[in-house]
Homo-oligomer: A and B are copies of this chain.
């Protein structure tokens, strides 16, 4: 899954050894260039590499016309199926066994969407030594995964929690795209583990931030705090700042677990 795709994204993926062919779902928050100008190049590279797997794009409707016009101009036929999913209302836009993705509206100069990624509850794992000890047949393992207790041939019940181990709790991540600060966003992303919230400016530029539909460090931290998140990642810093230290400094006054999103780094909540 890839969220937004600015110019040169495919080059950076090569640099960080991210296998582009593994991307099957691309989420585009809005149609400002820094969030999608790299998409057409990526789609093109997929074609050059003779990709066969389906590709899904979740984006504002106009993106489809832009991409189609560019494909037409090149006289190109993609070797893979490309599906466009237009973002229209706040809803679950993707779901499989492991994960769901929902979109929510944020406040920007043009139509703009955030995305929440929620892992599903993982099934409990088999406790190998316990199932040996209590002689649970393999045929019952599926039931154990589902949380059932085991009753043996002597009619003795062995509780599921003895025979299984809890999995990692499922994680959730909210990507808030480009947005002005607004209180209602906290409700939308309530309780997620990690929040990415833009922080284009430092706190002293609150007025300018609002005018330009962007946010400050302290506003980002306020959102993370009021949403009850475990961690805040900040990004989308204005190029007027040479150093970013002050962003974490200011954010941490409000929300301790605040960090700068750095290129090429993996973050977990």
List chain A positions with a Cβ less than 8 A from chain B: 7-8, 10-11, 31-34, 37-38, 40-41, 44, 60, 62-63, 65-66, 69-70, 72-75, 109-110
Contacts and interface: CB of A to CB of B under 8 A. Distances in A.
Contacts of A60: 73
A66 B69 contact: yes
A74 B112 CA distance: 11
Nearest to A62: B73
B109 A75 contact: yes
A66 B70 contact: yes
A73 B31 contact: yes
A44 B33 contact: yes
Contact of A37 (B44, B62, B109, B110): B44
Contacts of A65: 69
B33 A40 contact: yes
Contact of A66 (B11, B32, B38, B73): B73
A256 to B, nearest CB: 34
A249 to B, nearest CB: 27
A91 B162 CA distance: 84
A23 to B, nearest CB: 17
A263 to B, nearest CB: 13
